[in-house]
Amino acid sequence: MTDRSVRFFGGPLDGRVQELTEADPAPGTVVRHIHLHGGPKIETLYELGATEAGWEYRVCSDSHSEAEPEPDGLR
């Protein structure tokens, strides 16, 4: 891995390594992965963080998800 690459931990992208975009990475940035392969749509949110080993995306916990609220306003 280079200082411009990021590794994914958890969820369907676990183990994937990709290059960061040209913009400066910002810890706390959240990306959404949508899985549509022949079944129901599954959304997974990953949050960017920096460690001693480099950049990583970790699956967000439910409390950090950006899920759409239920019709009654509750999650």
**pLDDT, tens digit, 9 for 90 and up, residues 11-32:** 999 999 999 877 878 899 999 9
| Domain ranges (residues) in the chain | 5-64
Q: Tell me what pLDDT residue 65 has.
A: 38
The closest alpha carbon to 44, from 11, 1, 70, 8, belongs to 11
Strand partners, 69: none
Mean pLDDT within 37-53: 90
Q: Tell me what pLDDT residue 75 has.
A: 43
More confident residue, 71 or 3: 3
